[in-house]
Amino acid sequence: MVGAAGHREWVDGVVGQFGSVICDRYDPAPQPAMRSNARAWLRWNPGDEDLRWLLDHHRDGIHRQDLRALSGDLDTAAERRRAFIATLLWGAGTTNRYYGRHSHALAFGGLDEMLDQSLKSVQRGDLSGGWSAMYDLPGLGFRFFTKWLWVTGIDSELQTAPLVFDQRVINGLGKTGWPAHLGQINYKQRWLNYCSDAAAVGEQLGVSGEWVEYWLFAGAPAA
């Protein structure tokens, strides 16, 4: 890891300065459900029965716990695709500006191969392989597909679990002075470093790295 000492200092600093805030306020389980604009989704994907089913069965939105439940059944192509769409609905929320891109991704013929390979990689602890398996998916970049990688690693008991790496998390990391090594490493290595650092913070606090992710997503508040 580039600049490992800087990462250790960041971990210790977060634990010391913000540990009580994370433990007191950033349990991700009660995070509100994310609602979707069903009409817009169906307009862009009129023949997608998996999407239609999810919108019908989650009219009040998709919750983290819904994704946790879906992550337990990813053995078949149909189960993986439904879980992926649920993740997409959760990740996009009501302010989605990329319906066309998402429609392109859902129609891509190689989607299940990517979902299957990323799942297998993450479950054997190969987060780098999981990233690589999803990297070329048309229409979606890492700010979304790391949400899917997080779903594949839920309850996996990995020492370092995959975490969401969207723009809000990136902004939170920047606010805390996290060592991003700009110009030295690529985004995949940056994500791997972040997952490792969040896991290290969580280990010291007795929580999962997901709590750290949620705190960063919220803007890394001090209180």
Residue 2 has pLDDT above 90, yes or no: no
Give the tens place of pLDDT for each residue, 68-85. 999 999 999 999 999 999
Task: Judge whether 1 and 196 are in contact, CB under 8 Å.
Answer: yes
The structure tokens listed for 131 are: 């990233």
Task: Judge whether 194 and 163 are in contact, CB under 8 Å.
Answer: yes
**What is the identity of the amino acid at 125?**
G
Average pLDDT, the chain: 94
DSSP 8-state secondary structure symbol assigned to residue 30: T
In whole angstroms, what is the distance from residue 178 CA to residue 199 CA?
14
Query: How many CB atoms neighbour CB 46 within 10 A?
Result: 10
In whole angstroms, what is the distance from residue 53 CA to residue 50 CA?
5
Give the tens place of pLDDT for each residue, 23-54. 999 999 999 999 999 999 999 999 999 999 99
DSSP helix/strand/coil, 148: helix
In whole angstroms, what is the distance from residue 33 CA to residue 116 CA?
26
Residue 223 has pLDDT above 90, yes or no: no
Give the tens place of pLDDT for each residue, 92-133. 877 777 888 999 999 999 999 999 999 999 999 999 999 999
